[in-house]
């Protein structure tokens, strides 16, 4: 019986994985510049973390989590997103007591959601995200957004659109909530079952419904921007001012809600405008989540962050026709003729690698012509040919594959002279 890969997952093979590594390296490089430090949390957490942190009215908690019971009868869940786990660690490890504040963290790793697989959407997917905890300054909201935008731009993406919104503080949200309930309640029976359940729990989530997005009441729903109090208005205006200072174009969309319950004040999405990218255009989403730390047992802590999918990042690059540099080839391929020469190249290969060179040899007992073909496939810069006769004379022939030039080198000083050939 053959065993195939589970639905909604993928194998990332050599030749493709190098693209991932380049994006991950750029993300780490930017985080270093912005002073965000890496955090690694468990792949699974207690289910309560997500039901309390993400929100039990969200699609993630209601429909998409991979939840199981362990042998100790504890309910555990494969992480569907990164923020709740990072904040849990922040609270549990008492990072709020660190001298350097705000605490700026980033993560990178697999997340799991039971979704209908489609282009750019998987059941196991990889997210890169950052979290800034401990500051209520809208300038750090602008910094978080700028890091995301700079990551996309430095990888070559140009067709980007930033959408922002304010979800207001608790007072503003409360007033907006009441207005939404009054707006939808008389005709809530015309909406899907999920929306009917959300009416009292979290009516803001109705605006994020994909099934009823074209309903006429959606178009006339009261805007959160109409209910912002003075503090929330000032906060949102400062964010826009800072984004303008950073030369980051944006659009305000009062219907931007985001799919998680913990957002307040700033909410944003970065989208791709590339032709042929697909129906789901969102590349990255994030926002402010003041109150999340308290929800999971910590002190009052403001926070903001974003998460982006590496899979969708790569799809956006493809849509814009951007080719990431892949394998640049190896420094040296050792080709051997004769048993004694083959045995000798085992140690010689190790010497090359210890000296810092990428190197390879033949392991299939191929003829010299086939070994040169293997060197070509590996894009070897040099091929060093050693035969039994050369070994007796302590010599080795090194060919520059770009110029065709060939030199004979003493085996005793091979590594030193090979280093000189690189200049």
- Give the residue from 284, 319, 354 where a domain finishes: 319
In a domain, 203, yes or no: no
User: Can you give the pLDDT at residue 57?
Assistant: 61
Q: For residue 398, what pLDDT band results from cuts at 50, 70 and 90? A: very high
User: Can you give the pLDDT at residue 353?
Assistant: 96
Position 259 pLDDT exceeds 60: no
User: Can you give the pLDDT at residue 209?
Assistant: 77
129 and 106 share one domain? yes
Give every CB contact of residue 221 below 8 A, 6+ residues apart in sequence: 180, 183, 184, 206, 207, 255
- Give the residue from 262, 294, 319 where a domain finishes: 319
Average pLDDT score, the chain: 91
21 and 56 share one domain? yes
Q: Provide the token pair at 48.
A: 């309560």
Q: How far is CA 45 from CA 28, 61, 260, in A?
A: 25, 13, 18
Question: Among 185-189, 260-264, 356-360, 376-380, which is the least confidently predicted range?
Answer: 260-264
Number of domains comprising the chain: 2
Q: If you average pLDDT over residues 204-223, what whole number do you get?
A: 81
339 and 400 share one domain? yes
Q: If you average pLDDT over residues 83-89, what whole number do you get?
A: 96
Question: What's 376's domain CATH number?
Answer: 3.40.50.800
In a domain, 221, yes or no: no
How many Cα atoms occupy the beta-carbon half-sphere of 420 within 13 Å? 8
Q: If you average pLDDT over residues 187-195, what whole number do you get?
A: 84
Q: For residue 258, what pLDDT band results from cuts at 50, 70 and 90? A: low
Concatenating the DSSP letter of every residue in 293-310 gives: HHHTT-----EEEEEEEH
160 and 23 share one domain? yes
Position 399 pLDDT exceeds 70: yes
Q: Are 156 and 317 in contact (CB under 8 A)?
A: yes
Angle ∠(28,30,35) on CA atoms, nearest 5: 90
In a domain, 218, yes or no: no
Domain that holds residue 258: 17-169+229-319
242 and 307 share one domain? yes
Q: Provide the token pair at 289.
A: 């989540």
Q: If you average pLDDT over residues 250-264, what whole number do you get?
A: 78
User: Can you give the pLDDT at residue 260?
Assistant: 58
408 and 279 share one domain? no
Q: Which residue shows structure tokens 């307040």? A: 264
Q: If you average pLDDT over residues 167-196, what whole number do you get?
A: 85
Q: For residue 208, what pLDDT band results from cuts at 50, 70 and 90? A: confident
* 167 or 115: which leads in pLDDT: 167
With CA atoms as reference, report the closest residue to 360 among 340, 370, 374. Answer: 374
54 and 165 share one domain? yes
User: Can you give the pLDDT at residue 178?
Assistant: 85
User: Can you give the pLDDT at residue 422?
Assistant: 84
304 and 349 share one domain? no
């Amino acid at each position: 019986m053959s065993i195939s890969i589970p639905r909604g997952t993928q194998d990332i093979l050599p030749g493709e994985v190098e693209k991932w590594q380049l994006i991950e390296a750029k993300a780490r490089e930017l985080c270093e510049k912005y002073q965000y430090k890496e955090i690694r949390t468990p792949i699974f957490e207690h289910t309560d973390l997500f039901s309390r942190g993400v929100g039990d009215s969200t699609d993630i908690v209601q429909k998409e989590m991979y939840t199981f019971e362990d042998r100790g009868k504890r309910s555990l869940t494969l992480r569907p997103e990164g923020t709740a786990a990072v904040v849990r660690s922040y609270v549990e490890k008492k990072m709020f007591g660190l001298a350097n504040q705000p605490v700026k963290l980033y993560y990178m790793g697999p997340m799991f959601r039971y979704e209908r697989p489609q282009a750019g959407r998987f059941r196991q997917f990889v997210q890169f995200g950052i979290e800034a905890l401990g500051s209520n300054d809208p300038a750090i909201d602008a910094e978080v957004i700028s890091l995301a935008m700079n990551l996309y731009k430095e990888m070559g993406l140009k067709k980007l659109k930033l959408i922002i919104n304010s979800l207001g503080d608790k007072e503003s949200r409360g007033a907006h909530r009441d207005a939404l309930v009054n707006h939808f309640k008389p005709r809530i029976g015309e909406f899907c079952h999920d929306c009917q359940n959300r009416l009292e729990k979290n009516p803001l989530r109705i605006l994020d419904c994909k099934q009823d997005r074209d309903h006429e009441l959606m178009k006339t729903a009261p805007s959160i921007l109409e209910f912002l109090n003075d503090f929330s208005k000032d906060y949102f205006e400062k964010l826009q001012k800072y984004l303008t200072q950073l030369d980051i174009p944006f659009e305000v969309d009062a219907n931007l809600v985001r799919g998680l319950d913990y957002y307040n004040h700033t909410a944003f999405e970065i989208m791709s405008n590339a032709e042929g990218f697909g129906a789901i255009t969102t590349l990255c989403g994030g926002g402010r989540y003041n109150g999340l730390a308290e929800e999971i047992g910590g002190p009052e802590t403001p926070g903001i962050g974003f998460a982006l999918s590496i899979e969708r990042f790569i799809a956006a690059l493809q849509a814009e026709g951007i080719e990431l540099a892949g394998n640049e080839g190896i420094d040296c391929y050792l080709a051997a003729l004769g048993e004694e020469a083959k045995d000798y190249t085992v140690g010689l290969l190790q010497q090359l690698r210890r000296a810092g060179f990428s190197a390879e040899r033949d392991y299939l007992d191929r003829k010299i012509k086939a070994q040169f073909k293997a060197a070509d496939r590996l894009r070897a810069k040099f091929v060093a040919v050693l035969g039994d006769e050369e070994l007796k004379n302590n010599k080795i022939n090194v060919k520059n594959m770009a110029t065709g030039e060939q030199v004979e080198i003493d085996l005793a000083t091979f590594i030193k002279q090979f280093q000189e050939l690189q200049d």
